[in-house]
Structure 1
Amino acid sequence: MPAKQTPRHKPDILLPTSYNDLKFTQIRTQHHEKAPSVIILTLHRPGNHNAFTDTMRAEIEQAYAMFDADERVKCIVVTGDGRIFCAGADLDEGFGEGVNGADAERVQDHRDGGGRVALAIHHCRKPSIAALQGSAVGIGITMTLPMNIRIAYASAKIGFVFSRRGLIMEACSSFFLPRLIGHSRAMQAVTTGSTYLASHKIWDGLFAEVCDKAEDVLPRALEVAEDVVKNTSSVSTYLMKELMYRDAGSPEGQHLLDSRVIYELFGSPDNTEGVKSFMEKRPANFTGTMDKTNVTGYPWWMPIDTLGRPKVAPTGRAKI
């Protein structure tokens, strides 16, 4: 019989007083001045086109663990420093020693770094918006697929270049990409391994908007984020995302599932506030969180715990 797998659990985390003060080395985090509950995460490797490294992977995972647990965070906008969003994996670091290296981990124990980032973003119960102010290839684009919204510079070069590197698409992108743009366009993108402008029809469905000027991308993404945190319930958004990605497999099954979920949301704090604010013709003040909302059927799927969801340490809360 195979050895019993022990679930992996991340340790409890401490939340920062301000995300402006975190001392990351390859990313930057800061509060949006107009809406402090929006956090701007910037890929930050000046001179290296924000190429992805294991350090960047660890820092993004750490940041997203905080975002998920922190009730003060309502939305995340991810962008890049300089002209390039992310040039893909840093080839100077290589891809490790492979399965035959002296220090290699067992193949069944390996967790793709891009996939760890994608799942950290996907598992986060707060919406993310990608602001691609420049080109993105490889992990530079696959890390954005689990995000709720992508806004790009029209002339940015976008490429799933894996077939040109002797590799396969990673970061769970074989799950996300065909769902976002369809199998036909996804197959063309990965078969050619070419780069296409963000405005190219092959990416129809991938980008919610494209901007004619690179400098307009981040402001537009922040404008969308401001609207999201001002007018929507993060509980509703998260559950709708999960309903789409973790569906029951048939219209009838989905009817039973969404009937149960919506029934339990009737009268919830966010539902009560949403109706009341509408009737009173005022902005809503949604304060609900998944931890404080009773949805007894959640999760309705069988969770696969690859790394575990961290929790806030008992002394880890601070005010913004």
Structure 2
Amino acid sequence: MTSNDRYSSDEVVYTTITYGAVDAIATITLNRPHARNGFTLAMADELGAALTAADRDAAVRVIVVAAAGDYFCVGMDLEESALDDFTDPEWVEPATRVARPMTNSNKPIVVAIQGPAVGVGISMTLAADFRLASDRAKFGFVFGRRGLFPEGGSTWFLPQLVGLAKAKEWMLTGRVFTAAEALAAGLVTSLHAPADLLPAAYALARDLADNVAPGSAAVIRRALVAMAAQGSPEAAFARPPRFRGVAARDLPDLDEWLSGR
């Protein structure tokens, strides 16, 4: 596989990732193993496009994000990423091009992290719902050691996931830490042997696709993020029901429901 290989979906041509959807599960795979899946501006745009495509596809119920090779993503590939025009008023920071559609997706997102995920390689996944990792994965919020500011909304997401004290420790020291430490702090959902990682990710995705109502999943994942910023549960308590369904239009197929199909 070379960087010149091209994959397309819905008129979008992908050169740094692959995208496909089968049986209600969309798979987005970082595909620059020759560069340890280093993050580029093209990858940022393609990941955002693929996440949006999966979210808009009514046949997709769950999104899996994975990576080719031994590394998940070692951060920004500075050799391949010339700076684009950040003076443009429409400019969006590259990691945000991934994190924003991931945050706003109506579909649950499962990330399978098989190896090192550093800098943007981990920060861009924080908006996902599940991060499964191999026991050989390593993580690092190394921005301070590069003279950079953490991007992709990670200064909001990380404290929500692991608490303020741990977020400060990891981000201020910029040290690389183990998968076991990530699990203990709540950054990852579960650890697996490398050969078992993708099967576990797809088993979780399959369960979500088969057994969780799509509408419920969409409302739950977005409400949890919205409520996290409220400071108290009062906003959740104060949500009155609004019944907008129309019986003639919105009733389920009762014959199918009663037969258990």
- The 5-angstrom pairing of residues 156-167 of structure 1 reads 156-167=137-148
Higher relative contact order (CA 8 A, sep 6+): 1
Are 2:19 and 1:29 aligned?
Answer: yes
- The 5-angstrom pairing of residues 285-296 of structure 1 reads none
Count of residues in Structure 1 that have an aligned counterpart in Structure 2:
251
- Secondary structure of 1:189's partner? helix
Are 2:240 and 1:250 aligned?
Answer: no
1:270–1:49: structure 2 CA closer, same or farther, 3 Å change rule? farther
The answer for the alignment partner of 1:223 in structure 2 is 203
1:282–1:133: structure 2 CA closer, same or farther, 3 Å change rule? farther
- Secondary structure of 2:112's partner? strand
Are 2:40 and 1:59 aligned?
Answer: no
Deviation, structure 1 residue 113:
0.5
Which of 172, 178, 189 in structure 2 is aligned with 1:191? 172
Deviation, structure 1 residue 273:
8.1
- Secondary structure of 1:147's partner? coil
Greater strand share, 1 or 2?
Answer: 2
Q: Distance in 2 between matches of 1:250 and 1:83?
A: 42
Q: Distance in 1 between matches of 2:203 and 2:168?
A: 33
Deviation, structure 1 residue 135:
1.1
* 1:69-108: CA deviation from partner (whole Å, max 9, x where unpaired): 1101111100100100111110213563xxxxxx844286
Between 1:224-233 and 1:58-67, the stretch displaced more is 58-67
**Contact between 1:137 and 1:160, CA under 8 Å: does it hold in 2?**
yes
The answer for the alignment partner of 2:216 in structure 1 is 236
- Secondary structure of 2:28's partner? strand
- Secondary structure of 2:33's partner? coil
Superposition RMSD in Å: 3.0
Aligned AA for 2:154? S
Q: Distance in 1 between matches of 2:13 and 2:199?
A: 25
The answer for the alignment partner of 1:113 in structure 2 is 94
Aligned AA for 1:251? P
- Secondary structure of 2:200's partner? helix
Point out where structure 2 has 5 or more consecutive residues left out of the alignment.
1-7
Q: Distance in 2 between matches of 1:70 and 1:270?
A: 20
**Contact between 2:183 and 2:191, CA under 8 Å: does it hold in 1?**
no
Q: Distance in 1 between matches of 2:177 and 2:217?
A: 31
- Secondary structure of 1:215's partner? helix
1:27–1:255: structure 2 CA closer, same or farther, 3 Å change rule? same
Q: Distance in 1 between matches of 2:184 and 2:65?
A: 19
- Secondary structure of 2:66's partner? strand
Q: Distance in 2 between matches of 1:215 and 1:152?
A: 11
Are 2:23 and 1:44 aligned?
Answer: no
- The 5-angstrom pairing of residues 205-216 of structure 1 reads 205-211=186-192, 213-216=193-196
* 1:248-267: CA deviation from partner (whole Å, max 9, x where unpaired): 4433332012x436x668x9
Q: Distance in 1 between matches of 2:251 and 2:196?
A: 34
**Contact between 1:189 and 1:202, CA under 8 Å: does it hold in 2?**
no
**Contact between 1:146 and 1:176, CA under 8 Å: does it hold in 2?**
yes
Point out where structure 1 has 5 or more consecutive residues left out of the alignment.
1-13, 97-102, 284-320
TM superposition score normalised by structure 2: 0.85
The answer for the alignment partner of 1:70 in structure 2 is 57
- Secondary structure of 1:246's partner? helix
Q: What percent of counterpart residues are identical?
A: 32
Deviation, structure 1 residue 222:
0.3
Deviation, structure 1 residue 237:
1.3
Q: Distance in 2 between matches of 1:95 and 1:231?
A: 44
Deviation, structure 1 residue 241:
1.7
Q: Distance in 1 between matches of 2:204 and 2:259?
A: 21
Deviation, structure 1 residue 173:
0.5
